[in-house]
Copies of this chain bind each other. A is one copy, B any other.
Amino acid sequence: MGSDSTIKTMDERPIGVFDSGIGGLTVLKELALQFPQENFLYLGDTARLPYGSKSPQTIRKYCEQNIEHLKNQNVKAIIIACNSASAQFSEIQYAGLPIYNVIKPGSQRALEVTQNLRIGILGTRATIQSQAYTNTIQALNPNAQIFNQECPLFVPLAEEGWDNDPITNLIVFRYLSRLLEKNIDTLVMGCTHYPILKNSIARSTGSSVELVDSGEAIAAWLQEDFISQRLSPRVSETPRNIEIRTTDFSEHFSQLAVRILNPVRASSFGVVDI
């Protein structure tokens, strides 16, 4: 065993992804499109959502429990696809597994695309008040100017399924108008739900503002780690598997999950108690 280098660098195990609910599915979708060979196991902690209003200690505890569950399912890496959780869990290695959060890749991507160093951040009240993006971006480049905007209605609009909707366009425009006056050229969608509303957001910003999507940013990081062999890819002729688990059953969640993931298709849906 181990004499064939092709076998040595292959890893059939799924990549674990977790979020408090459905928002992380936008990240899963990007990863599934980018890495069509990889297996994925998604955990949506719907019984305990939202994380945003919980204390840092509680969020941290939930993260550890989610990681423990995914580790027991034999994943090879874990993506924390939730901004509130990412703000409390910055380790890049934990319980023997590579860990990825959404804030660092999104922050780095924002600095890569900005030309005028004026960056807008959209987020939930909890994420904006944590200053996680401001601190992370300014640690990388102290000259960056950050303009924050809380968008408390975006998550319920996304969960209601009102994307590509005139009412959503009006609400997006109202939230964004103050940021756009600041002459930003880059806008971070700092909540994994927000890419569901990407069309409406792009309609307000126009083409002069670059949108940063956490899912795309993390996919680029994973790609680098596959190249550097921090992660080993799955290489197989058999179809890959995308398994979705939630901690509470909801018919509404399942229907919405199918819409968000489209054109990616989940292999199975299930409920777990963690």
Contacts and interface: CB of A to CB of B under 8 A. Distances in A.
Interface string A165-176: 001001100100
Given A47-B55, A159-B152, A252 B125 contact: yes
A156 interface: yes
By secondary structure, the A interface counts as helix
Nearest to A151: B160
A49 to B, nearest CB: 7
A229 to B, nearest CB: 42
A153 interface: yes
A55 B170 CA distance: 35
User: Which one of A55, A153, A174 has the highest number of Cβ atoms from chain B below 10 Å of its Cβ?
Assistant: A153
A116 interface: no
A274 to B, nearest CB: 14
Contacts of A153: 153, 156-157, 160
Interface residues of A, number: 19
Interface in A13-72: 46-47, 49, 53, 55
A233 B47 CA distance: 42
User: Which one of A47, A160, A174, A252 has the highest number of Cβ atoms from chain B below 10 Å of its Cβ?
Assistant: A160
Contacts of A47: 53, 55
Contacts of A174: 167
A126 to B, nearest CB: 10
Contacts of A171: 167
Contact of A160 (B152, B159, B160): B152
Interface string A106-125: 00000000000000000001
A9 to B, nearest CB: 43
Contacts of A170: 167, 170
A139 to B, nearest CB: 26
A208 to B, nearest CB: 25
8 contacts: A46-B53, A49-B53, A53-B248, A152-B156, A152-B159, A153-B153, A153-B157, A167-B170
Given A47-B53, A152-B156, A155-B156, 18 more contacts: A46-B53, A47-B55, A49-B53, A53-B248, A55-B248, A125-B252, A152-B159, A152-B160, A153-B153, A153-B156, A153-B157, A153-B160, A156-B156, A167-B167, A167-B170, A167-B171, A167-B174, A170-B170
Query: What 7 pairs across the A-B complex have the smallest Cβ distances?
Result: A156-B156, A153-B156, A167-B170, A152-B160, A152-B156, A167-B171, A153-B160
